[in-house]
Structure 1
Amino acid sequence: MEKVIHKEYILEGICCGNCAAKIEKSIKALHGIVSADLDFITQTLCISFKIDADTTSIMGQIREIIKCNDANVVIREKMQLAEGKKEIYLQGLCCTVCAGKIESRIKKLNGVKYVSVDTISQKMTIETDNEHQLPGILRQASEIIQEVEPDIQISYTTDPLKNDNKKCCQKVFLKKSFLAAGTILYVINMSLQFTQAVSFSVFLISYLLIGGEVILRALRNISKGHIFDENFLMAIATIGAFAIGEYPEGVAVMLFYQIGEGFQRLAVSRSKKNIASLMNLRPDFVNLKINNSIQKVSPEEVAVGDSILVKPGERIPMDGRITNGISSLDLSALTGESLPRDVKSGDEVMSGAINKSGLLTVEVSKEFGESTVSKILSLVENASSKKAPTENFITTFARYYTPVVTVAAVVLAIIPPLIWAGESFNIWLYRALAFLVVSCPCALVISVPLTFFGGIGGASRNGVLVKGSNYLEGLNHIDTIIMDKTGTVTKGVFSVHSIIAQNGFSEQDILYYASCAEKYSNHPIAESIIRAFGKTIDTAQIVAHEDIAGYGVKASIDGKTVYLGNSKLMKMYAIPYRPVYDVTGITIYLAVDKKFAGSILIKDEIKPDSRKTIQGLKTLGVRKTVMLTGDTKASGEAIAKEIGMDAVYTELLPQQKVEIFEVLEKERQGNGKIVFVGDGVNDAPVLARADIGIAMGAMGSDAAIEAADIVLMTDEPFKIVSAIRIAKRTQAIVWQNIIFAVVIKIVLLIFAAVGMATMWEAVFGDVGVTVLAVLNAMRAVRTGSMMEMQ
């Protein structure tokens, strides 16, 4: 595999899907680039450079490409700061004297290696000698900042200047003022009777006020060699309208285009906010216990081992263990679980859960950057960088579609008047201009990725974390699903299923002797026996203890010799025993002073929704379901039959799972996807090899998040069915938008060509269709909630 350098950049101000597609294509063509993905919804550019590439030179070329396509876009690197280093945004810091005081005082703190306060960017960079000191130093730094300048607002996550930049505000205000002034002049001119010269002058002034920005953008793009975009199309169409004397329509088209663009931006912004609200898990503050007092601090200021207080109604801010208190937790935002989960002292809790009732004291086990909430937010934030095939197709389609229809418009304006005598050139030019207005493919370029983004957000709401829209779309085309047994189909926790007592011994006697014999073992089977006994074991009664590898245990308990193990142990000591035949479990035999006492049946229980999951997969069109296990042939086949699996491979070593996967890969039909579902740790090699790897309930496992393409927040296999349903609904909305936009545009293009559509209908065909498609795309956000109700 070729070694690469991965970097991410934020492109502030980019909102045009067409421009984004052109930028992405140009960057991909640069020498030294392995891959590039630009998502205009999250404004994120992900680039992979060759290891020996001159990144400085390439970034210079990339900045030129971006500038050529949209000079208003600002590119900044999404910094991956070194350990022990943090950037803090200080909104409201404008006094250089105050900044100097803050910087000077923070420099004096123990453990601070470097600090810099910048009043221009309103940002402070702080670096510590030891990364573990960072939370405490940040806490002290926050106190210093608030003491020097109480009005400063501290942000650890996003640049507050992004939304409060004075230049940006002035620019927006100026644009709105020009638009309002141009609209007023247009209305006055349409209402009053002026001379032709005056009327033309007023129309021209209002046109320049309303559309001057569009004209300038079009000219700038043309000068850079980028012709075919919506600015060019609108400029040519409206200037053409003026050229043939249709002044009112020329101004009106530009006016409604600008209004439509505003609604479009609003719809996209609303959609982003709706998606963001689904994952609104990040805590604003933490109630940190310091000595006998409670202090509100930022999550970044809390270190591992600190104690925090979580009040009823608050969201748990950090992963940890409850040290005091009893409550119930609402995990719906994390896992999609509708029922609250009861917790008590000693239980582990995940950040993002809502404390429903009691007051909890939690000992923090992970820094905020490593917590469940941070992992979820990171996965969802970066998911849209991996594009689905449909998205790539639409991007390619738009690249060729716009030039083709532009050439068609030129042909429409010139050829008919030359062929048919008496045909007015102005009439056909008007039709061609309307044709141009309709042709912009924004409805597709914006709504398709927005729908996938919404689907990923909806899936997250349902406890299914999808790493990319390509994986979400891939769930629509599953041929074979391969499942590991332990931890996926079964609970992965051994428990005593039944006890058969013999020769005067009671079930409690059997559990007592077995627990004492297994007291010094840490094997899961031994733990299940001790757990079933449920009482304190007096180790003074255990005089002798001998492990017999492959057979069991021999121990002296209460002056009696106890034999505990498999049938081979009974045969070794010639103890007559009653065999138990149950292929779905493990049988442990017990004898006391060579007198057979009975047997214990241990089982790894099948999850209650495993059978329902297999039935649901078949209903959704999955051709083949397969189970892999290291269990015996009899045991594995019994479980597979019970839950309805099509095939099972047993007695497998971990490395043999990859070999079986390769066999099944050759048996797949057509281009169907092969999905592997496992616990995400031991199964990492197969998860990585599968078309789509799904990790079960593995948010605590870094290996799972790294290897899997989809992570389920709970141990419920039925979440797989929910994920496929979400994928199918998302795909349906994508194709609704594609068909709707294409059909409307084709109809209006035909109407415009034959003179049945004016520029008014053409504007609807461009901006109106885009707004409707975006509004439809927003339905994908609610997909997760709908799946919860099913």
Structure 2
Amino acid sequence: MSPKQKRLLTRIIVALVIFFAIIIVEEAGLLHAAFGSPGDVYAEFALFLIPYLIAGYDVIASAFRNLFRGHALDEDFLMTVATFGAFALVLFPHTEPHMAEGAAVMLFFQVGELFQSYAVDKSRKSIADMMDIAPEFANVMEEGKLKQVDPFELAPDDEFIVMPGERIPLDGIILTGDSQIDTAALTGESVPRTARPGDEVISGCVNLTGKLTVRATKPFEDSTVSRILELVENAAEKKARTENFITRFARVYTPIVVGVAAALAIVPPLLLGGDWADWVLRGLTFLVVSCPCALVISVPLSFFGGIGGASRLGILVKGSNYLEALGSTETVVFDKTGTLTDGTFAVTELACAPGVTEAELVATAAAAEAFSTHPIAQSVRVYGDAMANGERSGGDAMANGQRPATNVAPLAERVRDVREVSGQGVEAVVDGRGVLVGNGKLMAAHGVPFQATDAAGTVLYVAADGAFLGTIVIADTIKPTAARAIADLHAAGVKKTVMLTGDRTDVAASVAARLGIDEVHAELLPQDKVAEVEKLLAATERDTRGKGKLAFVGDGINDAPVLTRADIGIAMGAMGSDAAIEAADIVLMNDNPDDIAKAIDVARRTMRIVWQNIIFALGIKFAVLVLAAFGIANMWMAVFADVGVAVIAILNAMRAMNVKRYEKR
């Protein structure tokens, strides 16, 4: 609790103690015994002014200040007029006094203000935790000594040092050192990541264990931490339609009810000759009830809480309008590479000819591909190294303790006469044997009988001295959480999932089938993806009668046009391109597709809370307004209809910040 909140709480407690002490004195008849009638009414007036002014002097000051600035019709003004009116009823001493109600209205209004302030601070704290990721300095080596400089002073290719316990100041690549990196503030991921030379690191993360030397790849203003801070700071400016409606509603609603309250207090006594005190009290009660603070506080607070809660999960929402749209998502469209898949080639399948072990097959192919720079060749070499080191978890060969039958002699001595055949593969002499690694065309060109396969991915057939050794299938590996992400989206109520990719149709179909995606479109150019999204947008609008939204999830620079065109653009933030993150409305810092379902769930939960508050607040208010107009509702009922409803709505809005159940998933 802030010092300001503590001071307000102290004032409220002091005022409440005095208030109830006066109530006890008045109920005991001590005022009537001491001052008689109507002196006891004037004594009550003076006594109740004490807790009233202790609790609400700042509200009264704010009301007069805004009045002179031309902003009179706010909740401070309404509370001041209503409570002044309640105390003014002392001018009608023959009626039941209402100073206690006047003091109570101000007291409980301040209780509501305290709840509001606490709730907003709590929501801001969850976002402030994100703001704390900003590094204060960077260590650079000058004349053999470490010097702390402003991160803004460093440029790409400059080297800096990150000591254990320090935040990484700029995005970069590790040159030397091994460590564990805490990425929780950015990605929501609780388990530290291992960092080694050659790995990319992003600014804002904390270096936990070892000293690192890093080469900057971006200036500070373009770094991950700067982009995140900019997104968070600008989020409050982009209001949801519901939020804007409530703001416009309050502007129209407040002057209307003030006019009705004034008419209710003045017109009947003038035209019908009614009792002035009775009708003024009705008008004042109407005025207290009419205050729209429950709506104008709880609705923005709900959105603010939803955005803050999402940020704790590593999901950055650029504004409450996008959170609202996300809550209506009916169709989710994915780019494949880098979104549902890792975007890196890897060996996914091995098929050996009779008498050939997996270890021999991979070792032979890896040797032949030893000097190729092609990504597919690199995948084979990495897989061969992993098998040689016993790191492969599957496969009978490694389970039986076998190792690749490779020479320990340098590859330059073992491999010669390497020739890459365009569009077919590689020919080489390995350990004196003529080795072929490539597609079916290469095998056919050399008359090697082979067993063709229609496996999804890039298929490499391997042969040595004219004998077929087997098949290696290489494909873009699916992210471990991708299948669960699609299942969670369907469970969350998403009607259709679609995959768009520039990859081959057979590869795309295989990935879609494994993940449970409803629809797939393959072999697309970037402009084709925009055209497909246009069709899907039209279909979604038609099928949902304009109520449903379409979200597109991507990570590459070629996804930027589609991210902009979709109703909601979602970018994979940690490894995604700058253009994709800039174009997107929501950024997933953890690069985890399963976070999409969490984001939709948070958005829908936030919207449920928003509408709960709207319906509850308006329902109670209109009911009591009618009762007040007919003289049935008293001032105490008005206090509940205003302050009580506001407090309940605020407490309900605070639930939007609670994301613990998502953190456990």
Same fold (TM over 0.5): yes
Contact (CA 8 Å) 2:138, 2:160: kept in 1 or not?
no
Choose which of 584, 592, 595 in structure 2 pairs with 1:719: 595
Contact (CA 8 Å) 1:516, 1:539: kept in 2 or not?
no
Q: Structure 1, residues 113-165: CA drift from partner, whole Å, max 9, x if none?
A: xxxxxxxxxxxxxxxxxxxxxxxxxxxxxxxxxxxxxxxxxxxxxxxxxx99x
Alignment of 1:710 onto 2:586: yes
Alignment of 1:369 onto 2:221: yes
Match of 1:331 in 2: 183
Q: What does 1:553-568 correspond to in 2, within 5 Å?
A: 553-557=426-430, 561-568=434-441
Contact (CA 8 Å) 1:474, 1:673: kept in 2 or not?
yes
Q: Per the alignment, do residues 317 and 419 of structure 1 end up closer, same or farther by CA in structure 2, a change over 3 Å counting? A: same
Match of 1:526 in 2: 377
Structure 1 CA distance for aligned equivalents of residues 13 and 137 of structure 2: 42
Match of 2:509 in 1: 637
Q: Per the alignment, do residues 265 and 460 of structure 1 end up closer, same or farther by CA in structure 2, a change over 3 Å counting? A: closer
Match of 2:393 in 1: none
Specify the code of the residue in structure 2 equivalent to 1:691.
Answer: D
Structure 1 CA distance for aligned equivalents of residues 596 and 55 of structure 2: 51
Q: What does 1:375-390 correspond to in 2, within 5 Å?
A: 375-390=227-242
Deviation at 1:620, TM superposition (A): 1.4
Structure 2 CA distance for aligned equivalents of residues 641 and 181 of structure 1: 68
Q: Structure 1, residues 69-128: CA drift from partner, whole Å, max 9, x if none?
A: xxxxxxxxxxxxxxxxxxxxxxxxxxxxxxxxxxxxxxxxxxxxxxxxxxxxxxxxxxxx
Structure 1 CA distance for aligned equivalents of residues 82 and 204 of structure 2: 52
Choose which of 478, 493, 498 in structure 2 pairs with 1:621: 493
Deviation at 1:441, TM superposition (A): 0.9
Q: Per the alignment, do residues 747 and 341 of structure 1 end up closer, same or farther by CA in structure 2, a change over 3 Å counting? A: same
Structure 1 CA distance for aligned equivalents of residues 338 and 576 of structure 2: 14
Specify the code of the residue in structure 1 equivalent to 2:587.
Answer: V
Match of 1:788 in 2: 663
Structure 2 CA distance for aligned equivalents of residues 640 and 183 of structure 1: 65
Choose which of 115, 132, 143 in structure 2 pairs with 1:280: 132
Match of 2:629 in 1: 753
Q: What does 1:335-414 correspond to in 2, within 5 Å?
A: 335-414=187-266
Choose which of 639, 647, 655 in structure 1 pairs with 2:527: 655
Contact (CA 8 Å) 2:285, 2:635: kept in 1 or not?
yes
Structure 2 CA distance for aligned equivalents of residues 752 and 554 of structure 1: 93
Specify the code of the residue in structure 1 equivalent to 2:244.
Answer: N
Alignment of 1:738 onto 2:614: yes
Structure 1 CA distance for aligned equivalents of residues 518 and 125 of structure 2: 44
Q: What does 1:381-780 correspond to in 2, within 5 Å?
A: 381-417=233-269, 423-502=274-353, 507-534=358-385, 538-539=411-412, 541-557=414-430, 561-582=434-455, 584-668=456-540, 669=543, 670-671=545-546, 672-698=548-574, 701-780=577-656
Q: Per the alignment, do residues 448 and 486 of structure 1 end up closer, same or farther by CA in structure 2, a change over 3 Å counting? A: same
Q: Per the alignment, do residues 188 and 575 of structure 1 end up closer, same or farther by CA in structure 2, a change over 3 Å counting? A: closer
Structure 1 CA distance for aligned equivalents of residues 491 and 55 of structure 2: 55
| Structure 1 unmatched ranges of 5 or more | 1-162
**Residue aligned with 2:161, SS:** strand
Structure 1 CA distance for aligned equivalents of residues 471 and 69 of structure 2: 83
Q: Structure 1, residues 510-563: CA drift from partner, whole Å, max 9, x if none?
A: 444433443444332121012123289634555444433322233455565443
Aligned length: 617
Q: Per the alignment, do residues 519 and 487 of structure 1 end up closer, same or farther by CA in structure 2, a change over 3 Å counting? A: same
Specify the code of the residue in structure 2 equivalent to 1:660.
Answer: E
Q: Per the alignment, do residues 275 and 714 of structure 1 end up closer, same or farther by CA in structure 2, a change over 3 Å counting? A: closer
Structure 2 CA distance for aligned equivalents of residues 182 and 496 of structure 1: 74
| Structure 2 unmatched ranges of 5 or more | 26-30, 91-96, 389-407
Specify the code of the residue in structure 1 equivalent to 2:193.
Answer: R
Structure 1 CA distance for aligned equivalents of residues 613 and 228 of structure 2: 29
Deviation at 1:430, TM superposition (A): 0.5
Q: Structure 1, residues 249-291: CA drift from partner, whole Å, max 9, x if none?
A: 4455445545654554344334323432355323455555555
Alignment of 1:237 onto 2:82: yes
Contact (CA 8 Å) 1:383, 1:466: kept in 2 or not?
yes
Q: Structure 1, residues 293-339: CA drift from partner, whole Å, max 9, x if none?
A: 4455654466653332332x554444333444433333333222233
Alignment of 1:269 onto 2:269: no
**Residue aligned with 1:682, SS:** helix
Structure 1 CA distance for aligned equivalents of residues 559 and 354 of structure 2: 45
Determine what percentage of the aligned residue pairs are the same residue.
50
Q: What does 1:50-61 correspond to in 2, within 5 Å?
A: none
Contact (CA 8 Å) 1:680, 1:687: kept in 2 or not?
no
Q: Per the alignment, do residues 500 and 268 of structure 1 end up closer, same or farther by CA in structure 2, a change over 3 Å counting? A: closer
Structure 2 CA distance for aligned equivalents of residues 253 and 611 of structure 1: 55
Contact (CA 8 Å) 2:12, 2:111: kept in 1 or not?
no
Deviates more, 1:532-541 or 1:773-782: 532-541
Choose which of 137, 159, 164 in structure 2 pairs with 1:306: 159
Structure 1 CA distance for aligned equivalents of residues 434 and 322 of structure 2: 59
Q: What does 1:311-322 correspond to in 2, within 5 Å?
A: 311=164, 313-322=165-174
**Residue aligned with 1:645, SS:** coil
Q: Per the alignment, do residues 787 and 703 of structure 1 end up closer, same or farther by CA in structure 2, a change over 3 Å counting? A: same
Contact (CA 8 Å) 1:320, 1:364: kept in 2 or not?
yes
Q: Per the alignment, do residues 730 and 561 of structure 1 end up closer, same or farther by CA in structure 2, a change over 3 Å counting? A: same
Specify the code of the residue in structure 2 equivalent to 1:685.
Answer: P
Contact (CA 8 Å) 1:372, 1:699: kept in 2 or not?
no
**Residue aligned with 2:436, SS:** strand
**Residue aligned with 2:121, SS:** helix
Contact (CA 8 Å) 1:286, 1:297: kept in 2 or not?
yes
Q: Structure 1, residues 378-397: CA drift from partner, whole Å, max 9, x if none?
A: 21221121111211121122
Q: Structure 1, residues 703-738: CA drift from partner, whole Å, max 9, x if none?
A: 111111111122321111111111122122222322
Deviation at 1:361, TM superposition (A): 4.6
**Residue aligned with 2:294, SS:** helix
- The alignment's TM-score, normalised by the length of structure 1, stands at 0.69
Contact (CA 8 Å) 2:126, 2:308: kept in 1 or not?
no
RMSD: 3.7
Deviation at 1:683, TM superposition (A): 1.5
Contact (CA 8 Å) 1:695, 1:708: kept in 2 or not?
yes
Specify the code of the residue in structure 1 equivalent to 2:579.
Answer: A
Structure 2 CA distance for aligned equivalents of residues 188 and 712 of structure 1: 56
- Which of 1 and 2 has greater Rg? 2
**Residue aligned with 2:462, SS:** strand
Structure 2 CA distance for aligned equivalents of residues 693 and 764 of structure 1: 43
Structure 1 CA distance for aligned equivalents of residues 161 and 638 of structure 2: 60
Contact (CA 8 Å) 1:698, 1:705: kept in 2 or not?
no
**Residue aligned with 2:499, SS:** strand
Q: Structure 1, residues 3-55: CA drift from partner, whole Å, max 9, x if none?
A: xxxxxxxxxxxxxxxxxxxxxxxxxxxxxxxxxxxxxxxxxxxxxxxxxxxxx
**Residue aligned with 1:482, SS:** strand
Specify the code of the residue in structure 2 equivalent to 1:731.
Answer: M
